Structure 1
């Protein structure tokens, strides 16, 4: 119930506006978000890139008009130019949300988002890095995967994201486990109905194991997005069983979540990539992080009450 309430709050324009303009929230949000501007994000990315890889996300989703979609696209182009000029492109990629690029606009949305994503992929290739297309709620899964397939015709290294809590994902993993395919497997962070998603934690974990097995046995490049120690250990076991070397897959974790575990995995010789969000439109992302783990809610409450 708490998770559903938090994810419902994430969709509230009134709460979002109040939170994103609140000075009180900023110190708490900074745990999970690398500031509101590009300079700060690049500073953090440079620090992380000493021993890890990075995927930068310019926060924003559910754009309501072409102008917003164009602004989001331009923000990514500027980010990519800076990655190139500052010598970070070999260790830092970008993650994009198609809803930020216009996917939900009536009529033209899917095509507009694909066109904007293509501009971003072209710029990424020019500076020497890659793009991963984030997955959002289940109503966009087919459209998002169609865009990924279109982008891969010109940029085969474009990453896809699949969510283990969806009942369809094991089949999607099999379809995307071909040579060269980069797939990030996460549990999922949206409030989905039981008709399309597993709702119990044990079911989600078991689905994650099945899906990861498909990817590890495939010919692509699995990106293991989890903070769960048991699933991290399971990934290592699967890698050994399938003969994958350390450069044949990577772990991915969120900025601000289990940073010591990130450093330990990297020190042990694993590829570790940190998902690094930045920007002023942080509220929906932050609420999903609170919804994922009760410990995050307690951290938030302690941080707020300690300031009084």
Structure 2
């Protein structure tokens, strides 16, 4: 089943993400919106603030993503920055269960990276604005991953901004063939690195497609980060990777506050609470906003269980879709 999902279903689902017609139809369907609520707590700042408070109250850390990518005009990029600045102002007064429990994740294409004129300059200026406000609010910032075509410029911007803000983190995706080398560089530099398997449709020339190959790529990357000078953020729901992270942390003598688990909002919630209860730092990735479609499709493409959950809801529109539904 997993091989069929990897070779047939995942490419089909990710292709759907590029269809504007399917996107518009899906966004109008009430049943789609009900399923989306499992992965996205809402579209407004008030919605995400409630989710933040709930997570903090359960002893979890959070990272917040204002959804949106591939911004096509300056005004939209400016609105994204304004949304982050408003959110950071609200987050600044929150009490947290542990230090550095608050973080925001930002995508450079949402900040203007792909704009036809001076896209990099605009994105970099916008990152500096968000980072300055976040530092004043006591909130961390991580530059999120996107498809492989953006990696070189993203990492170059991260290097530049980290000269003034060493706490800035970024994401490395294990399924990209280049990632082991990137892990070595950033582990040496002491960076905060979120290591995930990868969620974008990529050509086989730049990325592994087979699930076994991706797992085999993840483990050496994780070892490099755990052995290095930085702060590893292990973004996986996979029990094998969770177990490997604990073994490597013990092997390299890492204290509980020198690395963390990261998991997605609405997925394996019980496991998040169990790990936190056992004394591990766990950060929940909480997205919000109106541009939820691309994020939603990538969640479907990650695991057969997510597709099953969606199809069951489509088959029975009376099905009570909740965030507590098992993944």
TM band (smaller chain): over 0.9
- When the two chains are superposed, the root-mean-square deviation of aligned CA atoms in Å is 1.2
Map of 1:24 onto structure 2: 31
| Aligned counterpart for 1:80 among listed residues 88, 105, 113 | 88
Alignment of 1:111-130 (within 5 A): 111-130=121-140
- 8 Å contact from structure 1 (residues 187, 226) kept in 2: yes
Instruction: Measure the CA separation in 2 of the matches of 1:77 and 1:97.
Output: 15
Deviates more, 1:206-215 or 1:102-111: 102-111
Residues 183-205 of structure 1, C-alpha deviation per residue, up to 9 Å, x if partnerless? 00000001111101111111110
- Pairwise CA distance, 1:87: 4.2
Question: Does residue 1:33 correspond to 2:40, yes or no?
Answer: yes
Map of 1:67 onto structure 2: 75
Map of 1:203 onto structure 2: 213
TM-score in terms of structure 1 length: 0.97
Residues 282-305 of structure 1, C-alpha deviation per residue, up to 9 Å, x if partnerless? 000000000000110010011122
Map of 2:325 onto structure 1: none
Alignment of 1:133-172 (within 5 A): 133-172=143-182
- Pairwise CA distance, 1:115: 0.7
- Pairwise CA distance, 1:14: 2.2
Map of 2:9 onto structure 1: 2
Instruction: Measure the CA separation in 2 of the matches of 1:179 and 1:153.
Output: 11
Instruction: Measure the CA separation in 2 of the matches of 1:296 and 1:35.
Output: 19
Map of 2:323 onto structure 1: none
Instruction: Measure the CA separation in 1 of the matches of 2:201 and 2:31.
Output: 27
- Pairwise CA distance, 1:178: 2.8
Instruction: Measure the CA separation in 2 of the matches of 1:90 and 1:197.
Output: 32
Instruction: Measure the CA separation in 2 of the matches of 1:32 and 1:133.
Output: 20
Map of 1:175 onto structure 2: 185
Instruction: Measure the CA separation in 2 of the matches of 1:122 and 1:13.
Output: 36
> SS of 1:123's equivalent?
helix
TM-score in terms of structure 2 length: 0.92
Map of 1:55 onto structure 2: 63
- 8 Å contact from structure 2 (residues 104, 142) kept in 1: yes
- 8 Å contact from structure 1 (residues 49, 92) kept in 2: no
| Aligned counterpart for 1:301 among listed residues 303, 307, 311 | 311
- 8 Å contact from structure 1 (residues 246, 271) kept in 2: yes
Map of 1:265 onto structure 2: 275
Unaligned stretches of 5+ residues in structure 1: none
Unaligned stretches of 5+ residues in structure 2: 1-7, 319-327
- 8 Å contact from structure 1 (residues 20, 280) kept in 2: no
Instruction: Measure the CA separation in 2 of the matches of 1:152 and 1:13.
Output: 37
> SS of 1:63's equivalent?
coil
Question: Does residue 1:108 correspond to 2:118, yes or no?
Answer: yes
Instruction: Measure the CA separation in 1 of the matches of 2:244 and 2:180.
Output: 17
Residues 4-27 of structure 1, C-alpha deviation per residue, up to 9 Å, x if partnerless? 111111122222222223323211
Map of 2:200 onto structure 1: 190
- Pairwise CA distance, 1:211: 0.2
| Aligned counterpart for 1:254 among listed residues 264, 267, 275 | 264
Aligned length: 308
- Pairwise CA distance, 1:32: 0.2
- 8 Å contact from structure 1 (residues 189, 292) kept in 2: yes
Instruction: Measure the CA separation in 1 of the matches of 2:111 and 2:25.
Output: 24
